[in-house]
């Protein structure tokens, strides 16, 4: 096999690389992109420069030549500060494009992606599926949580405590004290929020080595994992093992089963759909979700339950979930090891049976996440967690409609939202937000702090943080308000009915009446890149990709 990087070696290219220190021998070796989606802005990425150095050293030892490239590195708590958080999801697609305009443009032979905060794993997966270049992901790990008086404190406590104080809820410790102690090491948020959910997804898809997700950030184990992945990417280039051989329909079913088994973040749905679209797969992830809805909850990691992410890792993590689900998933799929999932799982014994339960004795019945449809939405997502009756699953009530998250928060603070209401917070979709900005997660925490989470329902066309699991919350309603969806035409007092059992969300407004009403259009302004995003983004049924798609 002729390496494409060699075929592209013009005299000018060789001159540039010789000036960088490459020898004549190096010119003939596999050229590997070390995709370091990193930034000094956020603790999520603080260790990745050191990991990149380890990876590059190991690639050289394995007979390859590494080139480190950078991408955008969104982080919710930092880059969510402007435009009501619109830059967060919008950053996902920049990552995929950053990779294309460096790795593909330079005709490199393979890439190893250092994947960390929420939007970097899908950005890396989307680029891998698009370019179909030998690719492996290194799981970036989670941050060590702190303690106050011997009790664990993490960033979820800080966030929920800060919102809660405004609405009269007393945090377990003063918010200022928690902020000083919540994070004591690099990596993503502790708990089964979006980042750790997506790390598990990466392994379930077969795009990371077995046993790598989740992992303590910058730990000796993580560093060893990075070395192993660096050695393996050189072999993958030599074997010509490509993502589209791995990212098959069976692999996506395995990823869905894993998200359901860990009661993970709803954001995985759109990220998996976007990856499938990038890989030119004719897959409807929303339909597959219902197909896999019998998968029970096997581990109750925060925010679903009290188990901490460290316990989940020590009990086998994603690998143990896949082992528990062995009889329900497709183990014939290929993985980055060059072996099938069945071969990877053969002989593996789960070290923590009390943390990751068997299918025959689960933590809770499935599904932990369900897709709803009806006269109110073509699709909408509800996260249920452990279905023990502590949160409503059936609800009928009058709509209380708000155009912005801030308007909704103020109404909650002023006591204008009452038990029995269906709180509708709109203009937070892919185009309306844009990029699903708008602060829906803060609204949910406000309802909880005000004591309304279990006596109201919350409906939005926005997205939710993976830390959100409170009350009956229906998110990512599509079509969204800005594109003329029913959520944009609902009015105060219109009755909305939600039924998890029926997988439905309906409104007591006739189609004829709805046709006479106007939607809000674009309430939030969008300029610069966000304006470009608004024009280019495809519907949620595609995962919100920016690719031009045929009708």
**CA neighbor of 304 nearest in space, from 395, 369, 361, 258:** 369
Supply φ then ψ for residue 137, to 5 degrees: -105, 140
- Beta-sheet pairing, 146-148 with 135-139: unpaired
Closest C-alpha among 377, 368, 205 to residue 283? 205
Q: Residue ranges of the alpha helices (H) in 325-472?
A: 341-345, 405-413, 440-449
Task: Please name the residues in contact with 139: beta carbons below 8 A apart, sequence gap of 6 or more.
Answer: 115, 199, 202, 203, 208, 212, 213, 214, 215, 222, 225
DSSP state of 340: B
How far is Cα of residue 406 from the mean position of the Cα atoms in its chain?
A: 25
Cα–Cα dist 300/288, whole Å: 23
222 in Cβ contact with 115 (< 8 Å): no
Q: How far apart are CA 332 and CA 378, in angstroms?
A: 33
The Cα angle at residue 424 between residues 407 and 539, in degrees rounded to 5: 105
* Contact (CB, 8 A) for 268 and 206: no
pLDDT confidence of residue 245:
98
Sign of CA dihedral 201, 202, 206, 208: negative
- Domain 4-144+185-345 fold is Rossmann fold (3.40.50)
- Integer Cα distance of 301 and 244 in angstroms: 31
Q: What is the CA radius of gyration of the chain?
A: 23
Cis check: omega of the bond before 268, within 30 degrees of 0 = no
3-state helix, strand, coil in the chain (%, to 5): 40, 15, 45
Query: Which one, of 453, 465, 471, 384, lies nearest residue 158 by Cα?
Result: 465
Which helix (H) or strand (E) segment holds residue 136: the answer is: strand 135-139
**339/478 Cα distance (integer angstroms):** 39
For residues 487 and 423, is the Cβ–Cβ distance under 8 A? no
**Measured between alpha carbons, how far is 201 from 224 in angstroms, rounded to an integer?**
20
pLDDT for residue 316? 97
Domains of the chain, by residue range, sit at 4-144+185-345, 145-184, 369-542
Longest dimension (CA), the chain: 74
Using alpha carbons, list the distances in angstroms from residue 530 to 242, 527, 535. 33, 6, 9
Tens of pLDDT, residue by residue, the chain (551 residues): 789 999 889 999 999 999 999 999 999 999 999 999 999 999 999 999 999 999 999 999 999 999 999 999 999 999 999 999 999 999 999 999 999 999 999 999 999 999 999 999 999 999 999 999 999 999 999 999 999 999 999 998 998 899 888 888 889 899 999 999 999 999 999 999 999 999 999 999 999 999 999 999 999 999 999 999 999 999 999 999 999 999 999 999 999 999 999 999 999 999 999 999 999 999 999 999 999 999 999 999 999 999 999 999 999 999 999 999 999 999 999 999 999 999 999 999 999 778 999 999 999 999 999 999 999 999 999 999 999 999 999 999 999 999 999 999 999 999 999 999 999 999 999 999 999 999 999 999 999 999 999 999 999 999 999 889 999 999 999 999 999 999 999 999 999 999 999 999 999 999 999 999 999 999 999 999 999 999 999 999 999 999 998 75
| Predicted local distance difference test score (pLDDT) of residue 292 | 97
Q: Which one, of 77, 96, 84, 120, lies nearest residue 526 by Cα? A: 84
Residues 102, 111: Cα–Cα separation, whole Å: 11
Name beta bridge partners: 136. 112
Kindly report the number of other CB atoms within 10 A of residue 70's CB atom: 14
CA distance 548 to 464: 26
- Rounded distance between C-alpha atoms, residue 259 and residue 253, angstroms: 10
Contacts (Cβ under 8 Å, ≥6 apart) of 491: 399, 401, 517
| pLDDT at position 178 | 95
What HEC string does 222-238 produce?
HHHHHHHHHHHHHHHHH
Q: Which residues pair with 425 in a beta bridge?
A: 402, 460
CB-CB contact of 438 with 524 (8 Å): yes
Supply the pLDDT for residue 551: 56
| Level-2 CATH architecture, domain 369-542 | 3-Layer(bba) Sandwich (3.50)
The pTM assigned to this predicted structure is: 0.97
Q: How far apart are CA 167 and CA 161, in angstroms?
A: 10
Question: Is there a catalytic annotation at residue 465?
Answer: yes
Which H/E stretch holds residue 131? helix 120-131
Indicate the helix (H) or strand (E) that contains 17: helix 11-19
Q: Give CA separation, 78 vs 43, 138, 251, in Å.
A: 10, 23, 33
Q: Which residues pair with 494 in a beta bridge?
A: none
Which residue is catalytic, options 465, 504, 510, 541? Answer: 465
């Amino acid at each position: 096999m002729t390496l494409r990087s060699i075929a592209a070696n013009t005299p000018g290219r060789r001159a540039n690389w010789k000036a960088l220190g490459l020898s004549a021998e190096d010119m003939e070796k596999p050229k590997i992109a070390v995709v370091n989606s990193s930034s000094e802005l956020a603790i999520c990425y603080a260790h990745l420069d050191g990991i990149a150095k380890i990876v590059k050293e190991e690639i050289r030892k394995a007979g390859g030549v590494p080139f480190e490239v950078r991408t955008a590195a969104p982080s919710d708590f930092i880059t969510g500060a402007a435009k009501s958080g619109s830059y967060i999801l919008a950053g996902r697609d920049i990552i995929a494009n950053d990779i294309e305009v460096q790795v593909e443009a330079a005709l490199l032979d393979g890439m190893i992606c250092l994947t960390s905060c929420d939007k970097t794993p899908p950005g890396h997966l989307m680029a891998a599926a698009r370019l179909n270049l030998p690719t492996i992901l290194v799981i970036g790990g989670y941050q060590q949580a702190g303690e106050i008086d011997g009790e664990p404190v993490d960033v979820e406590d800080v966030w929920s405590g800060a919102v809660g104080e405004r609405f009269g809820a007393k945090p377990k410790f003063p918010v200022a004290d928690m902020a000083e102690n919540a994070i004591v090491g690099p990596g993503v948020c502790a708990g089964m929020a979006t980042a750790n959910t997506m790390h598990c997804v990466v392994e379930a898809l077969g795009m990371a080595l077995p046993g790598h997700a989740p992992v303590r950030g910058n730990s000796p184990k993580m560093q060893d994992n990075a070395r192993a992945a660096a050695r393996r990417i050189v072999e993958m280039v030599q074997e010509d093992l490509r993502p589209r051989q791995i990212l098959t329909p069976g692999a996506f079913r395995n990823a869905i089963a894993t998200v359901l088994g860990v009661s993970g973040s709803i954001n995985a749905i759109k990220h998996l759909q976007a990856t499938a679209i990038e890989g030119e797969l004719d897959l409807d992830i929303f339909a597959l979700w219902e197909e896999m809805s019998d998968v029970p909850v096997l581990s109750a990691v925060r925010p679903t339950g009290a188990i901490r992410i460290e316990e989940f890792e020590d009990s086998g993590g994603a690998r143990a979930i896949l082992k528990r689900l062995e009889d329900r998933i497709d183990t014939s799929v290929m993985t980055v090891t060059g072996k099938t999932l069945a071969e990877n799982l053969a002989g593996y014994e789960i070290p923590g049976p009390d943390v990751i339960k068997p299918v025959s004795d689960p933590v809770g019945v499935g599904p932990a996440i369900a897709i709803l449809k009806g006269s109110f939405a073509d699709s909408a997502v509800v996260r249920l967690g452990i279905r023990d009756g502590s949160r409503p699953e059936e609800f009928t009530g009058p709509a209380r409609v708000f155009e912005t998250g801030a308007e909704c928060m103020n109404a909650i603070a002023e006591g204008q939202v009452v038990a029995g209401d269906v709180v509708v917070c709109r203009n937070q979709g892919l185009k309306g937000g844009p990029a699903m900005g708008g602060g829906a997660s803060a609204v949910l925490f406000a309802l909880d702090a005000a004591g309304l989470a279990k006596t109201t329902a919350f409906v939005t066309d926005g997205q939710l943080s993976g830390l959100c699991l409170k009350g009956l919350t229906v998110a990512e309603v599509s079509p969204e308000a800005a594109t003329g969806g029913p959520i944009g035409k609902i009015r105060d007092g219109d009755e909305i009915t939600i039924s998890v059992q029926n997988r439905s969300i309906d409104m007591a407004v006739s189609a004829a009446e709805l046709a006479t009403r106007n939607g809000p259009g674009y309430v939030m302004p969008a300029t610069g890149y966000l304006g470009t995003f608004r024009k280019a983004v495809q519907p949620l049924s595609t995962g919100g990709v920016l690719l031009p798609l045929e009708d």
